[in-house]
Structure 1
Amino acid sequence: MRPRHLVTLAVLVIGVPALVWDLWLSIRADLSITTAFAVGFLWVLAAAAVLTFAAFTREAGKHREFGHQEGSWKPLPSLLLLWIGGFTAFVVFPFMLSGAGGTSAG
């Protein structure tokens, strides 16, 4: 395995199980329709962040391997915002879903 693939692999090895765990937590929780919509949106945001970050690291590795040092590989501000929002969603999930089990009316 080439070293340029290690960062991408590390992102996917950490990100995909975290996405599956968050999805399992949200399916298992008894959520209202509004909370379920918010959780679904946050999960899609987190999934997009993981996938775009993995793709960016893969492309940055390819770029450096071929010796193209004159180009700038700074991510666009929109990608940075997507990554910040997506990785923040990972932190929010346990707090958002922890109180969902005991909030059912009745």
Structure 2
Amino acid sequence: MSRTGWHILSEGETLTLARRNRARLDVAARTELPDAGRLRIAHQVRQDMWRALQGLRGFSPVVQVRREAGQLHITAGGEIAGAFSREYVENMIRDVLEHPERRSRWIRYARRSGGQS
């Protein structure tokens, strides 16, 4: 676990950011972005997803970022302890991932790092 309290697992071209060591995706949505810093993108996506879903009892966010063919393939979602509507939650996550201003901010922030981790 990092000093921030988040588990960061990097396996090849895939980086996973999660609160718990064993990340579980009860719900998930996917998107693609241009190549940039994977960890910075993961943290930004996690923060915005948490803001949108913080009222969902028992939600623990998970973000996976995989670099492939000059793109970042992002899977965002998480574990939910309790009852929930999969369709409703996945639509909320999809709305976060497809929001144009957020996407632009994530890329700008991730490219400022100077690295492509």
Q: TM-score, normalised by structure 1?
A: 0.34
Of structures 1 and 2, the one scoring higher in RCO (CA 8 A, sep 6+) is 1
Q: TM-score, normalised by structure 2?
A: 0.31
> When you count strand as a share of all residues, which structure comes out higher?
2
> When you count helix as a share of all residues, which structure comes out higher?
1
